[in-house]
């Protein structure tokens, strides 16, 4: 696979890095990006595995950031695309500034959709390509104290299933990875108050295992992957449990102490 290219966003740590590692182990050339300098450290670790790695430090919550990424990859044949960049906040809705809310929506919804549109059109024109989007099992549950994040993930989960149907005959596959709480920096990064919530004390999924499940599902052409038992249960019963009960359960885990 020496001539195949995998592009991974949000690849400096956590699930994104582990997805890049899986692609490297499969022999793909890598283009990885994130909004922090740690992406260079991730690249060095991947190069030690023998991978060819290009990097870009870019803020994909902005139009300028998306344009900068596209400028680097627009003329390349992208075989695998991993839309993994995303942020949470973990505040009560009325405690957040509008700028904080807007940044999450811009990254998780607006600009992710923009990149998917660009990459999807390019792959469709070639008649081949594989895309994995990191959604969340949170998209199936109303999320007090993480309401905007869960709402953005509900959008991504829904978008993925719709595009799977639209693209069923054009050679492009799209897989939605829907993990539950995973041991990644998302809980402690920046001003995320989830660091003070009960959920941080509970056992969380291993990002390497989450990435393995997502990568394997992608390569098998599967529509979705819920990598841990808890996520599978939530997805299975989400349509059966009243919204008010799901909301109370989420609040119990996400409300800061």
CATH code at position 113: 3.40.50.720
User: Is the predicted pLDDT of residue 10 greater than 60, yes or no?
Assistant: yes
- Residue 17: give the domain boundaries: 5-254
Q: How confident is the model at residue 138 (pLDDT cuts 50, 70, 90)?
A: confident
Tokens of 151: 């709402």
Q: What is the pLDDT of residue 92?
A: 84
Instruction: Look at residue 183 in the predicted model and tell me its pLDDT.
Output: 80
Q: For residues 136 and 23, which has the higher predicted lDDT (pLDDT)?
A: 23
Q: What are phi and psi of 130, to 5 degrees?
A: -130, 135
pLDDT of 81 over the 90 cut = yes
Give the model's pLDDT for residue 42: 98
pLDDT tens for 208-221 read 999 999 999 999 99
Q: What is the pLDDT of residue 181?
A: 83
> Binning pLDDT at 50, 70 and 90, where does residue 232 land?
low
pLDDT tens digits, one per residue of 172-211? 999 999 998 878 665 555 555 555 544 555 667 899 999 9
Q: What is the model's pTM?
A: 0.86
Residues 136-145 have a mean pLDDT of 79
Query: How many structural domains does the chain have?
Result: 1
């Amino acid at each position: 696979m020496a001539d195949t290219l995998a592009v991974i966003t949000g690849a400096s740590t956590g699930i994104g890095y582990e997805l890049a590692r899986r692609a490297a182990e499969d022999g793909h050339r890598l283009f990885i990006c994130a909004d922090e300098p740690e992406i260079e450290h991730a690249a060095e670790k991947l190069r030690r595995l023998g991978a060819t790695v290009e990097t870009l430090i870019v803020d994909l919550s902005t139009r300028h950031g998306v344009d900068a990424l596209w400028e680097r990859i627009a003329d390349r044949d992208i075989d695998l695309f991993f839309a993994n960049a995303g942020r949470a906040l973990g505040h009560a809705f009325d405690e957040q500034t509008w700028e904080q809310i807007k940044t999450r929506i811009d990254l998780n919804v607006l600009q992710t959709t923009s990149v998917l549109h660009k990459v999807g059109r390019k792959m469709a024109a070639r008649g081949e390509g594989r895309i994995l989007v990191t959604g969340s099992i949170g998209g199936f549950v109303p999320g007090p104290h993480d309401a905007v994040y869960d709402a953005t993930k509900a959008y991504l989960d829904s978008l993925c299933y719709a595009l799977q149907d639209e693209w069923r005959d054009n050679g492009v596959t799209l897989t939605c990875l829907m993990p539950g709480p995973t041991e990644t920096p998302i809980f402690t990064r920046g001003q995320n108050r989830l660091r003070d919530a009960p959920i941080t004390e509970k056992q969380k999924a291993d990002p390497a295992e989450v990435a393995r499940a997502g990568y394997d599902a992608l390569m098998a052409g599967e529509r979705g992957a819920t990598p841990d038992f808890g996520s599978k249960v939530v997805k299975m019963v989400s349509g059966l449990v009243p919204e008010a009960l799901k909301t109370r359960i989420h609040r119990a885990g996400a409300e800061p102490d």
